[in-house]
Structure 1
Amino acid sequence: MLEIVIDARKAAIGPGMEVRRILPFRLRRMVGPFIFMDHAGPVTIQPQKMHDMDVLPHPHIGLSTVSYLFDGQVTHRDSLGVQQIIKPGEVNWMTAGSGIAHSERFEEPEVLAGGKLEMIQTWVALPEKDEEAAPSFKNYQPEQLPVFTDSGIWMRLIAGNAFGLKNEVKTHSDMFYLHVVLNAGARFTLPREHVERGIYVAKGKLEVNGIAYLPGQMLVFKQHAEPVLLARENTTLMLLGGEPLGERFIWWNFVSSRKERIEQAKEDWKQGRIILPPNDNHEFIPLPEDKSRPAGNPAPEALS
């Protein structure tokens, strides 16, 4: 029934920002099309150190980044000229495709000083036919995302389809992504229609088959398993998964089905062929020099 439990590892993405990294994991690289997952915050930092937290312009290929906030706000800027303030409950879906650069800036001192920044970021790998798609960005407001409630249960469909819920978030493959809040004592389960399914415990305590799981743990279940999820206290979960896409290579912020495409992306970034955001182009993250890692093994990733 339960295939693997993944314990989040600490990862620093900048001087002021430490995250819990869940995916990729050496024994489980992906869950459905999801190849990367970070949980940042709650973050408290003094206003004079705010710039240290900024994720400077950096590139992506072959994936979609999905930013989802529990609290706070972040300013996104990208190569397409998009500038979007990301707020809680919204879905911000950026498809890198053939190549895009973007930044994430933390520009509200009171948010950081008050410990009001907490976000989940995932990367969704693209099917081979879409890996070189034109880059795009779309912000979806909370009212565009269906919510279901029942006794002790609240859930929002972030993307895909699950439990009969669908929304207009454009995805490239069969998948689901849910934000679920359970009151203490509530019972829940997983959607049956997807091949690969995982649960990330963001807050609280979740019991499955008599064993308790805590924040920072992801549970990945075998196909057709129908576990009973019991909230031992008020609990927040992120449920995700879908149809597997096959092997993917990941190096720094690049994802591809082909190792040679990763090498091309490295050179494109070094040579300036992936343009910087026009309204945030005075600094950027250089390509990491990591000669010990061949393409296909992750170097230190940025948050997004």
Structure 2
Amino acid sequence: MSNVLESAEQRCDAIEAPCSAIEAILSPRVTDLGGFSVRRLLPTAKRRMVGPWIFFDDMGPADFPAGEGINVRPHPHIGIATVTYLFEGEILHRDSVGSFQAIRPGDINLMVAGRGITHSERERREITETDHRLHGLQLWLALPEDQEESEPDFHHYPSDGIPAVEVNGVPVRVMMGSAYGVTSPVRQFSETLYLEATLKAGQTLALPDATERAVYVAQGALSAHGSELPTHSMTVFTPEPGVAITATEATRIALIGGEPLGKRFIEWNFVSSSKARIEQAKEDWRAGRFARVVGDERDFIPY
């Protein structure tokens, strides 16, 4: 399951400039879900987490004809907070704490699983009745050990509440954490960083400092410290200061990072610092002990 294109050492052997700023360049594992591709960057065999981030999927872009679309049946989570962010399209979120929320481009849906939550991701009838497109990111944040069994919760942050700043001509949105002098209102559980930037060809962006950080190229291509960073790659950088990326064409990036939390186990939709807790969650789901999604009670995904 190795998704590493080339190690930093291999890149450094081929160039004269130092590339100690790059730990690894990862490529996705691509799954085709019947015309709808999902690219998974985390976790991999070589890199399980970046800061508190334990899961990173790029879904789409996918074009759906009328009558088709996203239809993810109710399923459970523990030990994490999920972050959903769309570039295009819309998803309708329902969960077992009673949330009913459509997410649109630029918004953030933050679902806190804690001790256990069930949710579904579908689309409104108004969306599925016409041809439509979907493209976005789904990420999971591992929760600190003292918050793994917290009460489940849900938060929606509209696009106009997410702070934006221009850094040397580059538009940046700070979705979580603090960077470039602004702080996001999105709830954090530990030191966390998540931002988006769009660069024109030739523009350079100095990356904010973080204990761990990685840049995903959602569109376009970059160069950084002697290495080429292609579309759909994720580059894990060292914490050293002065790291910068340069767009070689029009590019959209997502940067994730923060303070590492320690080892986590992951199986199916469950994440925990305890293997025994995951086994309990599996048994609870099989036995129907998770709360049902309000308004979507009949269907579910079996373990």
Fold conserved between structures, TM > 0.5: yes
Supply the AA of the counterpart residue of 2:170: I
Cα deviations across residues 138-176 of structure 1 (Å, max 9, x unaligned)? Answer: 001122211002444111111111222212211100011
Q: In the alignment, which residue of structure 1 is the partner of 2:251?
A: 235
Look up the match of 1:6: 26
Counterpart-to-counterpart distance in 2, 1:248 and 1:190: 27
Q: Please report the TM-score for the alignment, with normalisation by the length of structure 1.
A: 0.89
Matching of residue 171 in structure 1 with residue 217 in structure 2? no
Displacement, 1:72?
0.6
Shift of 1:47: 2.3
Q: Cα–Cα, structure 1 residues 82 and 44, in superposed 2: closer, same or farther, change >3 Å?
A: same
Residue 164 of structure 2 is aligned to residue 144 of structure 1: no
**Match of 2:11?**
none
Taking the aligned partners of 1:15 and 1:205, their CA distance within structure 2 comes to 27
Q: Quick check: 1:61–1:253 contact (8 Å CA) kept in 2? A: yes
Change (3 A) 1:150 1:243: closer
Match of 1:158 among 171, 175, 200: 175
SS at match of 2:67: helix
Distance 1:271 1:146 in 2: 43
SS in 2 for 1:280: coil
Q: More displaced, 209-218 or 239-248?
A: 209-218
Q: Which runs of 5+ in 2 are unaligned?
A: 1-20
Q: Structure 1 residue 82 and structure 2 residue 102: aligned?
A: no
Q: How many residues are treated as equivalent by the alignment?
A: 281
- Which of 206, 231, 234 is matched with 1:218 structurally? 234
State the SS of the aligned residue for 2:177. Answer: strand
Deviation at 1:15, TM superposition (A): 4.5
Output the amino acid matched with 2:52.
Answer: P
Q: Which residue of 2 aligns with 1:19?
A: 38
Secondary structure of the corresponding residue to residue 207 of structure 2: coil
After TM superposition, give the deviation of residue 16 of structure 1 in Å.
5.5
Superposition CA RMSD, Å: 1.4
Residues in 1 aligned to 2:167 and 2:183: alpha-carbon distance in whole angstroms: 18
Asked if 1:42 corresponds to 2:58, the answer is no
Q: Residue 79 of structure 2 contacts residue 142 of structure 2 at CA under 8 Å; is this kept in 1?
A: yes
The normalised TM-score by structure 2 is 0.89
Match of 2:9 in 1: none
Q: Which amino acid aligns with 2:29?
A: R
Given that 1:20 and 1:40 are in contact with CA atoms closer than 8 Å, whether structure 2 keeps it comes out as yes
Distance 2:113 2:227 in 1: 39
Superposed counterparts of 1:1-304, under 5 Å: 1-12=21-32, 14-15=33-34, 17-50=36-69, 53-107=70-124, 108-109=127-128, 113-114=131-132, 116-192=133-209, 194-287=210-303
Equivalent pair of 2:286/2:302 in contact (CA under 8 Å): yes
Which letter does structure 2 place at the counterpart of 1:118? H
The equivalent residue for 2:16 is none
CA shift, 1:201, in A, is 0.4
Task: Work out the CA distance in 2 between the residues paired with 1:89 and 1:221.
Answer: 26
Structure 1 pair 151/164, CA: closer, same or farther in 2 (3 Å)? closer
Contact 1:190 1:197 in 2 (8 A): no
Q: Which runs of 4+ in 1 moved over 3 A?
A: 14-17
Offset of residue 225 of structure 1:
4.5
Q: Does the Cα contact within 8 Å between 2:167 and 2:180 map onto a contact in 1?
A: no
Cα distance in 2 for partners of 1:212, 1:4 equals: 12
Q: What is the CA–CA distance in structure 2 between the aligned matches of 1:173 and 1:82, rounded to whole Å?
A: 24
Give me the whole-angstrom Cα distance separating, in 1, the residues matched to 2:34 and 2:292: 22
Report Cα offsets for 1:256-283 as digits up to 9, x if no partner. 0000000000011011111121201121
Point out where structure 1 has 5 or more consecutive residues left out of the alignment. Answer: 288-304
- Identical counterparts, % of pairs: 44
The one-letter code of the counterpart of 1:71 is E
Assess if the C-alpha contact under 8 Å between 1:152 and 1:184 holds in 2. Answer: no
